[in-house]
Structure 1
Amino acid sequence: MSLTGISANRLELLQIADAVAREKSIDREIVIEAIEEAIQKGARARYGAEHDIRVNIDQKTGEVVVKRVQTVVADDASFGTVVNEEGEEVPADEPVGIIRLSDAKRTDKDAAIGKTYEEVLPPFEFGRVQTQMARQVVTGKVREAERERQFEEYKDRVGEIVNGTVKRVEYGNIVVDLGRGEGIARRDQSIPRENFNIGDRIRCYIYDVRRETKGPQILLSRAHGGFMAKLFAQEVPEVYDGVIEIRAVARDPGSRAKMAVVSNDSSIDPVGACVGMRGSRVQAVVAELQGEKIDIIQWSPDEATFIVNALAPAEVSKVVMDEEDERVEVVVPDEQLSLAIGRRGQNVRLASQLTGWQIDIMTESQESERRQREFAERTALFQEALDVDEVIAQLLVTEGFATVEDV
């Protein structure tokens, strides 16, 4: 940006402002304000920091007017106190642009307290140091405006999928160029074993936009449950239209996922609609997620039914729920145990994430053993505590009494 001579070509100044505004997608007014501030700094360096110098650029002609403004104050006017480094109260410095009444009277007999004088200063050439300072001011202002625009533009786009290009990869974090902004997909938000190179196209989910000192942080993810839900919304018109709702998603990124769906229209099968003809719809999402296997499950308002569905493909023979601790005990046939738990506990972990319940799995034989053990223990307890024979004690246990207090 050239600011070597203000008196030079005025229209050139406006052309610079237009070019910067276009390039950075910010308002031209902001750029012109930045140039005004830069010239003001240069003028104060030239004429002295005690002057109140104001700069105005005409937005149509590019005419630059530099004024010095002075306000008349009483001879004995004080400007309060400030606390210095030693913690002492000392008189505050005089504000810029004031003139004492007695000094003003020397040149103007009608001077009065509160009167202001404006003096237009002649155009001046910027020196090398002033040019450098002006450039820094303009660059800083423009960068600030650019950040603000970026934050305003993206803060309402949380929960959307965006397309971008990989700009750099730093320690596993991917910096993505989104066209009018820059986002970052941290290492833990990307799919394992997925490699991107500079220049690759990438689709991500915006899960947060934060205002930070070094500019807005647009946080992107490919591992977020919302990313999968949004991909289904793109592939399945019924999800996009809201006929089918995705109630919950649990993911083990790049490996396996479970998604609970429910239909608001009884004539539409939500699972079938999401799978698509010969699996075409689900395959499109699987391809984007690097082959992640997706179980699509029918959501149910009845917690027990939902838990049974969530453990699919394993079959469940019995569910015992503990509402207080949000724990549930699930009994499965002996041969289904490894299927219900899944590789490295993946199936039961995802089902637990999806439903929000802590799931304990046991086989039918384990459960029947435990039942017999409890039955024997309680029978012995009643025999001893109530001094009754075995038949009556067994009868009490069968009737559902668990402790002596219950009886």
Structure 2
Amino acid sequence: MDYISAMRIKYHTLFALLLILCNLSTAWAQDASYLLKRQLFKVPLTSINISPDGLFLLAGFDDGSFRLLDPISFEQSLEVEGAHYKAVNAIDMSPKMDFILTAGHSSIKLWDRSGKHMLDWNNHATTIWNAEISSDGLWAVSSAMNKTFLLWDVKNRVLLEQMRGHEDVCMAVSISPDMRLIASGSNDSSIKIWDLQTRQVITQLHGPTEDIYDVEFSPDGSLLAACSKDKSVRLYDLKEQKLFHILKGHRAMVMEAEFSPDGNYLVSASADQSVILWDVLRGERIHQFLENEGTVMDLVFHPDGHSFYSITYTGDLSHWEVDPEIFVLKYYENPYREEIAADPIFEAKRKGESKKEYEARAAKATLKKNEIIARYYELYLSDREK
């Protein structure tokens, strides 16, 4: 087992013990579960991503294999066993969907869509934490358990530069959507913004008080999210070069964050075994997804923005719906519940009511509830634009 996997198990175990010792309440449980599907894999998942067209999930596993899965059924369409010597800690697909990038142990490998091996990049000396392809497919960045990260020329299949500047391990790195900037986050608690063309630092941001595990640009490139061991996600306004929001709500380190495709929302994954959905503009927690069995390691939005996927080190892959009811309960809970309570159609099974009659009424109640939710959700969208 490599260092990254050992560290993940360590923190998952410690947090599980804390939950037992503190006898934490389950009072946060929600009225409804928005879990669309969950599948437990025998081998723990270590990375998750999705193809640009949303038709394939890309899953990396602890045994060094990777798979392509159907995003609805999770049925496997491709498996490459032994792709890496150890866990696949990062996986990505090019914008044209003509090749797949995987990172495991100290190597990066490129594969065609059929799973045929194309080439290796072996310039890292330590375990790779993160790797991603730019939105134009011309560049890639990767970070490992040291102070540098690497910038790759994907078109020519060569290492372009070793990026040095941090004073401690740099695990977080990302390329902006317009391919002008690179963001890197380090255990030195700093975030550096680099010019991709000159490969020089142009801005340095501060705020996290402990190790930084992930940095993510918003879809329009105006904001940067940074996830930290200090249990927070910080949002930075890159134009103003200042802190925009501090998102607090997790009870343990935040491993990963992902913006929704429209940039309005962000989901964060934590060692507290939860995922939180945030409103980016308001900096508010909208909903906390709690039904997880272990540390949430990675997540990704579906391109349609209506759902997202998460993985835990215990081996499960979950598909979550960003249901309109979530927003209704957050912002209009009292009038929504009052309206439901006042309508007889939502009553429990009545005395003397046959099973057939009850089921018919329940079907009508479901339709009515959906109509009420849709009305309040439209109100939410209208209020949000004001």
TM-score range, shorter chain: under 0.3
The structure with the greater share of residues assigned to helix is 1
Query: TM-score under structure 2 normalisation?
Result: 0.25
Query: Per chain length, whose mean CA-contact separation is higher, i.e. which structure has more relative contact order (CA < 8 Å, sep 6+)?
Result: 2
User: Which of the pair is proportionally richer in strand?
Assistant: 2
Q: Larger Cα Rg: Structure 1 or Structure 2?
A: 1
**TM-score normalised by structure 1 residue count:** 0.24
